[in-house]
Structure 1
């Protein structure tokens, strides 16, 4: 927990910001700026420097809350909602998408390109400017900031904004009503999303009938896979298949193979089968880089049906289970069982909610927010450690739960289980300890497995 004294918080901010700034200067890296051309690729920081940056952010979050005061803290919620409103406007009308870095335009030109009223446009863009999306260097002249330029040039980021504002935002206004109408529901068609979008069939099936929506979803997932907060190269840590000549990795719901392609470069001895809907994988093989094209293949598969790849060594699910309540997550796992060989491993890359107090409120806010976003979507959830253990047990007692591990700097954990189809094949029971490590005012969490006799 951070201190509640505002001077102490200010000192934490100053100390950690100095560490971060010194690292950037020492390595000739650009300092953060709204008005300088952003780097082509995100800056990767060493773990200690990233921890300092996070500590400054967390302390700044707490300091702002205290300086606002109790009433101001409540009132601040209204202004925060305008950021997503401005992003919705920018994305919908592609404001600035054809504007280069350093180029100038006007409110009138933006309005004309978008077939909007000029005064309406000016008011919306000026609101966006207060969020550091665009700048107005002189009256009536509009130019990019780093954030608005990043959105304009990054197709995958734009898709993520579209998914967030068009698909996920409307249900947030319906969640309170949905909780009262369908208390405790695990059914997707009783969700806030179903109410907000007035649907009568699964959202994913609706998207698959609409090329633009499914393309936006696929690109948004590609953006999330590329985020430095997820560590795909950590997937196979501890997975010993040295006795297998050509181990098989099945990437279930793997979209266009973004994760498998990255892992294939690190583990060329493996072969990768990426499964998704026919619409998603239709053009995926042509997008596989030449250096791994003989390692990564694609297969149309609906994970509600029996797994067609028998005897693979790993079945991998990236951000799949948080889309579904336990009722449906169990169905997904049971569809695997006919394909599993003894010792086959199921690896799930998803959030493992840390214990209360293990991370700051700043970090927990992101996790709890995502949990409710998934509740809005399909009455799904993010899961705590015990929830994951219970899910495998509920599916089939022949799953041996191995625990969850969270790589340094990762937003996702790797939740793992092995399959032992007959009594006596499992080498002992497994109990799990959840360790919490605190250093220099920061907190990290890691699930650690302990075998017992």
Structure 2
């Protein structure tokens, strides 16, 4: 029997109107410019309060519900299945061959001109672009006419202007999408009938896709990032990944999260190690804000040239780079260690191994500040978060299942991993805010 409380087309339309009015009123009162589809549009909303951010996500939920109901259950599934992979493939092709720079930001380009610039057959370029146009990525100057040129709109221009956004598309679609599509076979081979997901890194969807030789001999995505390419092009994915991480830090305001993760001012003159700190973007901000800190950034050797090219001159005496494999014994003794967005990429026993590798350098009272995606918090107090917010976490969770046989963990799972590494790791402080998607968990070494 139908539930009288179920949403209807009319009730959803009314809710969308109400939420839209609330949202646009806030934008107007706070002088926040609204994006449009024009190429010169702002690319994002800035300075949304936590409350209005939730309002926007509730609006997104209502819009998706209206989309589902307007088609009906069966057709909404069919339409999704029909288009989701071609949609992702078109975006990946556009990004991989840099269609963004093949079209001028001001003006337009013909299909033959674009094809020449991206070194693809005209017919291929045309077919990919015509699908992209249906997704509001690029637009035709004369829609439907064979003589039409292609020009940027706001969605394609955002990618043309932002190398970090391009790197995000590359890192998520180009690396992770193919392994995700063979997850049914991977689960069938390695986890079917077992009480838990296999933790073997040789039994991931990524390894099944890429370790056989035809597409490379890569055991993990990190192997691919470090080694794909020949000569000067070797490690091109690693350089993309550095740009991706810089963009992620901007997207999730990780600079603010890091600055608020610890009472940095109270420690005075202190040494800090940013484990897996990429090219040091966060460490530069931290060092400038707190001049008593001396920071060592640790990452793979391939990242060092990017660090050296970007380290500000006035910070060179306080922020340095040390090449380090975090499975090897930690070489630097420090007061505080930052581990951000690293451990979630590994199954439990590998995360434990990384933490144990730190122990030789730890002195009594040393702090480990873990910054991670908040993960599935299981039961929570208060109303549940909008589905669109939950989806951010569940999508990442499935992606790292495919790549690493890992998961996005709740805080209690992180505490267990640290205990499994060594009982002398003591949980000291937790700050888990689902609206920022990030949790900060502080441990102290009681060795």
Partner of 2:231: none
- Going from structure 1 to structure 2, the CA distance change for 1:77 and 1:6 (only over 3 Å counts) comes to same
What are the Cα deviations for residues 175-222 of structure 1, in whole angstroms up to 9, with x where unaligned? 111111111221222111111123354432342233212111211111
Which residue number corresponds to residue 73 of structure 2?
70
Cα distance in 1 for partners of 2:322, 2:202 equals 28
Query: Alignment partner of 1:336: what SS?
Result: helix
Equivalent of 1:381, from 407, 411, 417? 407
Residues 123 and 384 of structure 1: CA distance in aligned 2, closer, same or farther (over 3 Å): same
Change (3 A) 1:4 1:314: farther
Structure 1 counterpart of 2:200: 187
CA distance in 1 between counterparts of 2:268 and 2:429 reads 27
* 1:10-36 residue CA offsets vs partner (Å, 9 max, x unmatched): 333222222222233344433221124
Match of 2:250 among 193, 213, 226: 226
Structure 2 residue matching 1:282: 3-state secondary structure: helix
2:14 and 2:379 map into 1 onto residues whose CA distance is 25
Please name the residue that 2:430 is paired with: 404
Q: Do 1:233 and 1:263's aligned partners in 2 also have CA atoms closer than 8 Å?
A: no
1:21 pairs with 2:24 = yes
Aligned-partner Cα distance in 1 for 2:36–2:393: 27
Q: Deviations over 1:87-125 (max 9, x none)?
A: 111012211314332311111211222232323322210
- Tell me: CA distance 1:180–1:92, structure 2 relative to 1, closer, same or farther (3 Å): same
Specify the alignment match of 2:178 in structure 1: 170
> Match of 1:300?
323
The alignment's C-alpha RMSD in Å is 2.3
| Contact 2:207 2:218 survives alignment (8 Å) | yes
Partner of 1:208: 226
| Distance of 1:242 and 1:343 partners within structure 2 | 17
Aligned match for 2:275, one of 252, 263, 266: 252
Alignment of 1:414 with 2:440, yes or no, is: yes
- After superposition, the Cα gap between the structure-2 partners of 1:265 and 1:7, relative to the gap in structure 1 and judged at 3 Å, is farther
**Residues 398, 420 of structure 1: 8 Å contact kept:** yes
Query: Corresponding residue for 2:284?
Result: 261
CA contact (8 A) 1:12 1:55 kept: no
- CA-CA distance at 1:336 after TM superposition: 1.1
Deviation of 1:360 (Å)? 2.6
The worse-fitting range, judged by mean Cα deviation, of 25-34 and 270-279 is 25-34
Q: Distance in 2 between matches of 1:298 and 1:41?
A: 33
CA apart distance, 1:244 = 4.4
Kept in 1, the 8 Å contact 2:103–2:114? The answer is no
Distance apart, 1:85 and its partner CA: 1.1
Give me the whole-angstrom Cα distance separating, in 1, the residues matched to 2:8 and 2:291.
Answer: 53
Q: Hey, what's the Cα distance between the residues in 2 that align with 1:144 and 1:129?
A: 10
Alpha-carbon distance in 1 for matches of 2:11, 2:245: 39
Aligned partner (choices 54, 58, 62) of residue 61 of structure 2:
58
Answer whether contact 1:346 1:416 (CA < 8 A) is retained: yes
Q: 2:42 aligned with 1:39, yes or no? A: yes
The alignment status of 1:349 with 2:375, answered yes or no, reads no
- Residue 385 of structure 1: CA displacement? 2.7
The one of 316, 335, 340 equivalent to 1:318 is 340
Unaligned runs of 5+ in 1: 422-453
- After TM superposition, list the pairs within 5 Å mapping 1:6-17 onto structure 2: 6-17=9-20
State the SS of the aligned residue for 1:178.
Answer: helix
Equivalent residue for 2:230? none
Q: Please say which of residues 129-138 and 89-98 is displaced more in the overlay.
A: 89-98
Residues in 1 aligned to 2:263 and 2:391: alpha-carbon distance in whole angstroms: 36
Q: Which residue of 2 aligns with 1:136?
A: 140
Could you tell me how far apart the structure 2 residues matched to 1:338 and 1:6 are?
62
Kindly tell me: are residues 239 and 157 of structure 1, through their superposed partners in 2, closer, same or farther at Cα, counting changes over 3 Å? Answer: closer
More helix, by proportion: 2
What 5-or-longer segments of structure 2 have no aligned partner? 192-196, 212-216, 228-233
- How far residue 354 of structure 1 moved from its aligned partner, in angstroms, is 2.5
Cα distance, 1:72–1:40 mapped onto 2, change above 3 Å: closer
What CA distance in whole angstroms lies between the structure 2 residues aligned with 1:136 and 1:404? 51
Deviation string for 1:213-256 (max 9, x for gaps)? 211121111111121x2433233547446674411221100010
CA pair 301-26 structure 1, distance change in 2 beyond 3 A: same
User: How far apart are the structure 2 equivalents of 1:237 and 1:120?
Assistant: 49
Contact 1:3 1:9 in 2 (8 A): no
Structure 2 residue 87 is matched with structure 1 residue 83: yes
Determine the C-alpha separation between the residues in 2 that align with 1:238 and 1:117: 51
2:214 — aligned with what?
A: none
Query: After the TM superposition, which of the residue ranges 264-273 and 188-197 deviates more from structure 2?
Result: 264-273
**Map of 1:159 onto structure 2:** 167
Aligned match for 1:110, one of 110, 114, 118: 114
Residues 196 and 3 of structure 1, relative CA distance in 2, 3 Å threshold = same
CA distance in 2, matches of 1:354, 1:25: 35
Residues 286 and 116 of structure 1, relative CA distance in 2, 3 Å threshold: closer
